[in-house]
Amino acid sequence: MGMVPTVTVWPVQTRADYRAFVDLPWQVPMDRPMVRPMREFERHLFDRGRRFRGGLSLAALLDAMLLGKDNPFYEHGDLEIFLARDSGRPIARIAAIQNRLHNEWNHDQVGFFGFYQCIDGGEAGRAATRALVEAAGDWLRSRGLTSMRGPFNPTINDDCGIWTDGNVYPSFMMPSNPRYYADHLQAAGLAPIKTLRVYRLDLTTIPESDWTRWERMAGRVQRATGVLLRGANFKDLDAEVKSFLTIYNAAEEVANGWGFAPMSFKELRSMAELFQYLIDPNLIRAAEVEESGARKVVGAVISVPDLNEVLRRTGGRLVHPAMIWHLLRMKRGTPTNRIRVVFLGVLPEYRHTTASAMLLYDVMRMARKFGAREIEGSWVSEDNPSMYKPLEDHGFKVTDRYVIYERPLT
């Protein structure tokens, strides 16, 4: 007979627990070329108020310089992190998440979980996952929440889902996990409720005649409509963030009404502050029209180089000699092989105009100009044809799938 797993679960309370929680993803086995979470982001989020590292910690000071004093999520949310041990050995982790902004916006009482990791694919891992899900559910239930959905890390506007299908390593800010995660979560009573697709296109296979034809069409449309396409203006970050935020929230609410919660100004600005040092501003595109004698941003694309090509070699650290060297090389014209389109959207009143098509062609053109060989659109909900059909029309193919899970707490 096999040994019965002896699993205990407790909230993270000590520095040793905190270190074990943050380090656990680096012990998870790989069954595809996985990329671990960004260490700086996780340390910063989970050490709210520096209660584990203290105010004089060099790592805490560095994370604050990169990401701000506190993660802006805490303006509208709370979380508790739990660590599972099997006979004293850290084996799995989870975060229980209350997103008040989501519940206020959607008039519901949904709780969330995220940051799930488990190093064991067998019965010990299943037992640890069940215990973690119960502990997270109890925490959420005590706050009056009636269901648990996830994973969201920590919101739907961040990386989310459990990877279930595909073979190529994930792109920057997309999660990765072994295949047994889906089995563990379903054994813990969670059921799939939403499937997310990843689309990719090999830019090197597009005939030159197609690029020429698209360029001519885009030129004709631009002259006829007066739509102006431009790169991001990092020199006026506040104004740019306000414009992009209006488009992001309006477009996401229409396109992905299920589970939508608006991103706050501070959340997007925090991301933009980091992106301005990592990303060529020409990979972030804005579509403008003239209204009442002034230029108005009506559409936007946020695309990012696939920094996972480097993070796979830095132990998940942004501040690392290899990352700094690669960023310098990008400034000098050495690209990443893949570009990921994180967001493409227009204001609802421009949804049935040519602005979306122009932005899609423009981001493909800029990815090619950047030197990337592949472009990715992720993620797109499987039940949202208005978002994925334009990608399929341009030759994008589904390469990966992620799943969101839910269970009642009553």
Residue 27, burial from CB neighbour count under 10 angstroms (0-12, 13-18, 19+): middle
Length of the chain: 410
CATH level 2 (architecture), domain 200-400: 3-Layer(aba) Sandwich (3.40)
Domain residues of the chain, as ranges? Answer: 7-196, 200-400
DSSP reduced 3-state for 356: helix
Identify the CATH assignment for 7-196 out of 3.40.50.880, 3.40.630.30, 3.40.50.150, 3.30.70.360: 3.40.630.30
Cis peptide before 151 (omega within 30 of 0): yes
- Kindly state the tokens that stand for 232: 């991001």
* Amino acid occupying residue 341: V
Residue 256, pLDDT score:
60
Query: What's phi and psi for 56, nearest 5 deg?
Result: -100, 5
pLDDT score of 4: 52
CB 218 within 8 A of CB 363: no
Per the CB < 8 A criterion, the answer to whether 170 and 334 are in contact is: no
Three-state secondary structure string covering 191-214: EEEEEEEEEEEEHHHCCHHHHHHH
How many Å apart are CA 218 and CA 360, to the nearest integer? 11
Tokens of 52: 């584990």
Strands (E), 174-283: 191-202, 228-231
Measured CA to CA, the distance from residue 381 to residue 165 in angstroms comes to: 15
**Partner residues linked to 346 by β-bridges:** 299
Q: Residue 4 is encoded by which pair of tokens?
A: 């019965």
Q: Which residues contact 80 (CB under 8 A, 6 or more apart)?
A: 11, 95, 96, 136, 139
| 200-400 matches 7-196 in CATH topology | yes
Q: What is the pTM of this model?
A: 0.93
Cβ proximity of 124 and 91 under 8 Å:
yes
What tens-digit pLDDT sequence spans the chain (410 residues)? 455 568 999 999 999 999 999 999 999 998 777 788 889 999 999 999 889 998 788 888 888 888 888 899 999 999 999 999 999 999 999 999 999 999 999 999 999 999 999 999 999 999 999 999 999 999 999 999 999 999 999 999 999 999 999 988 899 999 999 999 999 999 999 999 999 999 999 999 999 999 999 899 888 888 888 888 999 998 899 999 999 999 999 888 766 667 888 899 999 999 888 888 888 888 999 999 888 778 889 999 999 999 999 888 888 888 889 988 988 888 777 889 999 999 999 998 888 788 888 999 999 999 999 999 999 999 999 988 888 998 999 899 999 999 999 999 98
Amino acid identity, position 269: R
Please, which residues have CB within 8 angstroms of residue 290's CB and are 6 or more apart in sequence? 226, 296
* Structure tokens, 357: 């098509």
CA distances from 113 to 78, 97, 147 (A): 11, 5, 10
Structure tokens, 342: 């994180």
> How far separated are the first and last CA of the chain, in Å rounded?
36
